[in-house]
């Protein structure tokens, strides 16, 4: 299953996991449930890694030996069908915790979209650590609950929304993302950056690249958005776009 991971992941040479205290992502991750004076215990089980764009660091079906915490960059999480059809179940930015699962093997794959920085925890070691820090377990439950809500929203999108509504929902959701999750300078609140390819967007929204491209072009033609570059979209009429996203529109400009 780990065919794509030709070379080992890059272990950061000069500091392989011992400065949780200075980690920029801590404030936004589950790690902030651990008190500052106990951070050394967390650091002891963490290993910092870099992951190059396109490289996968979790492979569906592989034994689930580690948890991961994203500290920089973005990953796509996905599942595959035997014939290659792919569903991207989410994108994970800084602060995102990965690998929650009771099962002995990963139920999805993860691959870097941009250059990433991640923290790897041994599953067993983190589990024993959790016994000493119930606050962190609480945080994990919160995180999982929130992801569950997001997953249900995505099911609604995949099962019942039109291509137009899916793209609108995607853009609105991206525009509402907290700054730290994107890992770049803010720009205007209505400027949406898309580090992933059209193919990734299509596989996230259950569409084809062609439909994604065509639909974006249409939204642009209607003056709802601007597309200054492939990876940048500016929302011009946020309210109207949001109306489409939530299915209020339906009529109006088709």
Residue 33 binds which entry of DNA, a second copy, none, CB below 5-8 Å type-dependent = none
**Least Å from the CB of residue 219 to DNA:** 11
Please pick, from the candidates 69, 71, 89, 215, the single residue that binds a second copy as defined by CB under 8 A.
89
Contact between 156 and a second copy (CB under 8 A)? yes
Please pick, from the candidates 87, 197, 208, 213, the single residue that binds a second copy as defined by CB under 8 A.
87
Residue 149 binds which entry of a second copy, DNA, none, CB below 5-8 Å type-dependent = a second copy
Give the C-alpha separation, 131 to 124, whole Å.
11
Please pick, from the candidates 21, 27, 36, 148, the single residue that binds a second copy as defined by CB under 8 A.
148
**Least Å from the CB of residue 202 to a second copy:** 10
Contact between 65 and a second copy (CB under 8 A)? no
Contact between 1 and a second copy (CB under 8 A)? no
Tell whether the torsion through CA atoms of 93, 94, 96 and 97 is positive or negative: positive
Which residues lie closer than 8 Å to 233 by C-beta, 6 or more apart? 171, 191, 192, 194, 216, 225, 226, 227
In sequence order, the β-bridge partners of residue 77 are 90, 110
Q: Interface with a second copy by CB under 8 A: which residues?
A: 77, 79, 81-83, 85-87, 89, 100-103, 107-108, 134, 137-138, 140-142, 144-149, 151-156, 158-161, 203, 205-206, 246-248, 250
């Amino acid at each position: 299953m780990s065919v794509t991971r030709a070379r080992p992941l890059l272990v950061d040479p000069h500091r392989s996991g011992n400065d949780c205290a200075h980690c920029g992502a801590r404030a936004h991750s589950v790690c902030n449930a651990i008190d500052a004076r106990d951070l050394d215990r967390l650091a002891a089980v963490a290993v910092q890694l870099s992951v190059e764009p396109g490289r996968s660091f979790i492979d569906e079906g592989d034994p689930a030996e580690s948890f991961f915490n994203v500290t920089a960059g973005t990953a796509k999480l996905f599942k595959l069908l035997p014939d290659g059809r792919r569903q991207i179940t989410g994108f994970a930015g800084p602060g995102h915790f990965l690998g929650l699962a009771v099962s002995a093997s990963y139920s999805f794959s993860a691959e870097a979209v941009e250059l990433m920085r991640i923290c790897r925890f041994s599953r067993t070691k983190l589990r024993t650590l959790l016994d000493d820090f119930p606050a962190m377990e609480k945080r994990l439950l919160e995180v999982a609950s929130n992801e569950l809500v997001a997953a249900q929203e995505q099911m609604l999108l995949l099962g019942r929304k039109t291509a137009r509504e899916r793209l609108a929902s995607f853009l609105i959701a991206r525009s509402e993302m907290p700054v730290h999750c994107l890992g770049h300078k803010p720009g205007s609140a209505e400027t949406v950056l898309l580090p992933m390819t059209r193919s990734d967007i299509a596989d996230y929204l259950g569409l084809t690249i062609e439909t994604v491209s065509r639909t974006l072009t249409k939204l642009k033609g209607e003056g709802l958005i601007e597309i200054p570059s492939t990876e940048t979209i500016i929302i011009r009429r946020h309210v109207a776009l949001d109306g489409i996203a939530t299915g209020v529109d339906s009529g109006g400009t088709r």
